[in-house]
Structure 1
Amino acid sequence: MAVRKRLLLIALVAVAAAVILTPGVAFANYSVHGSYTMSTDACAGCHRAHTAASSITWTKTDLTTGSALLLGTSTSIDDFCYTCHGTAMLGADTNVFDGVYEGSNALNAFGEPLNGGGFDPAMFPTQHYPNNTTWVAYGGGATGRDGIISTGGTQVTIGCSVCHDVHGSSNYRLLKDVVNGVTVGGYDGTIDPVDPTPTPWVISTEAGYPTSGWLLHEPGALQVAGYSPDYTDPKYAKAPAGDVTKGISGWCASCHTQYNTGAIGNFSVYDANDGFGLVTRHRHPVNVPLSNYLGARSLIVTDNVLPLAHSAADATTQDASDWIDCLTCHVAHGSSAVMTGYANVADSTDPLPDSGTGSVPPDDGNALLRSNNRGVCEACHNK
């Protein structure tokens, strides 16, 4: 932690004068993150065209790399992002390292937990590995094990910029339009190549959110003016036009390719590294309404209400028409959930309580679940 702090302070010296230093600026597609006008000053918040000191690079379409021309002396994109989004940093109220909001407004109070959790390993021992480390895209590829280090599969190097586009996207929370080579959003310039039409996969039910997607340039800036982001209370939405292959579940499936199979069904053959080998695997369905299974009745809510994907008409209530998606049970950044008893089993072929999680290598953690043990199951099934 001390080393990270020193790195951030070094980067902050160079960047602080250039970024917007007042709290409350970290909106999606806002400030330095998109909706740029022809007279924008945002580029200078992060870049220098001729005098950049950072060694951080970007990958071109031909897979060669070049300098990202970034301010400061950060050596990883995550440390550069923490210059604003880290502990007690002034560039943004969204402190994703500690997983808390550090501002105060009508929707978000100071110190409230962020929707996605955080990246501090002391608080969130299971994370979507930050700092450009190689990572397991569990459920990926033809065998479901691409990226598992022990099998030599294709590994994913993950950091902030693997999931988020710092220059803006058509999607909610700057989620990239192309991930792992898979198109999961974007823009259609057929009619107007200068101001193309957004084609998002992931949207929100937040107040003022443009469900048709984020526009570019001045039109996008006008959208931002009427938008009230809620970083601490999930306001998740069904996929645009109710497309069950899209939404956040479809977006996650760009890496976790086995997990949102659309019309194919909620099963496939792969090796889950649990001792049972290459067999047919069955999964809990996603992008389905609760009423698919229990009829048109309301959700039985417990003390730990899980976030569902809503339509605009029922954005503030939980009911049987809402969808279950990936973020219903899991957080995106890091989880502090504790696994004990039968939720802490090392070998599924010999399930001994408290023998070890036996989860996804290499971290063997809590699978980014929102609740301790299997609280996410009980919240809906109420047994």
Structure 2
Amino acid sequence: MPKFCGKCGSALNDNGFCPKCDSDKIAESNENMVDISFGGNDEVAKNVDYGVQNGTPGISKKEIKAKEKAEKATLKVKRKCTQKTDKIIAKANQKAEKKSEKSAAKIMVKTENKVKTVADKYNQKAEAKAEKVTRKVMRSTGQKIKWFIIKFVIILLAAAILLSAITGVLVYFNVVEIPFVSNIFCSFGITNNYGEISVYEYLNYNIVSNSSEGNKISAKAYYNKYSEILSETNLNDSSNVLTESDAFKTFQSYGFTDCIIMTEYSQTGDFVGTSTDIEPFSETKHPVYKSCYVDINGDIWDLYLINDVLMAEPVSFNYENNFSLVISNSDSLMSYDDETNTFYQTNPKSSVIKVKTLSEFNPENLQKLIAEEGAN
């Protein structure tokens, strides 16, 4: 029979304390319970609901939260189960209505077994879901930190993979130009635009465009499309245009002593066709000098000396590999446009023309470089 407080009339708890008048005694009782049950562990006691109203310890807050979340999770599974079984029963009823009583009974027996199987399956899912949710809620602080770090690392890796994939696609289709990525593609033989334009076309654009009705864009538009333009210098403003004498000395200083030097432009920069009437001591200037030689392996090379930049194209290598490689003694390429008498210093897109720089530019090192490229 319940007892009541003689002072305020409130019902006494199981220990005979009034929740209003004896609050101090109830608090003292709770403290004693912490010491007995948890050895005075404040971390554990913090998660416990002691039922201040009746002075008896209850279940932990974590357990309450876990139970609530588990019930919520299983409720979703049960709803799906109900929807599934309702459909099965409705379909069976429709089918049974068209059958005889005996056949209908068989259908309902089969349906009952099917519903039981489905219900068992969903019950297993619900139990697994509840266990998973409970385990997650009941994790300690250390476990939560551990799982947070693991998830964070997984998300970072996934983001890095996705970003790499997007970058690769953009570089492959020339939407963006990232030489580092293009070089990786090249090393694995993954290329998209090598062979789209030739080295000869790139260095002598308007010679080719003037002979091709379908290619009439300006040189500037062409180099904007296929490269980064570093500088534009008019022929008359350039201090690096070489004389025929300078051209002879330059080719010889780099080890090309037996080559025939040619030019295709006049002193004023107009295209006049190929000429080999170059004098070793002439002070006549030309914007472009060309030469050709065959190395000891029988491979053909084209040499270009444009506004004091020396470049070599391994013609045989490029032809055999459908490649566009240029070796330069500078970290960029130099081209000449005879329509505007302009030198273009450019960095071609690495997906279109691959540029290699040689500080010690000579036939031996050119052959070594090509051997390395072939090995890769």
TM-score w.r.t. the length of structure 1 is 0.20
Higher Cα radius of gyration = 2
Larger relative contact order (CA 8 Å, sep ≥ 6): 1
TM-score w.r.t. the length of structure 2 is 0.21
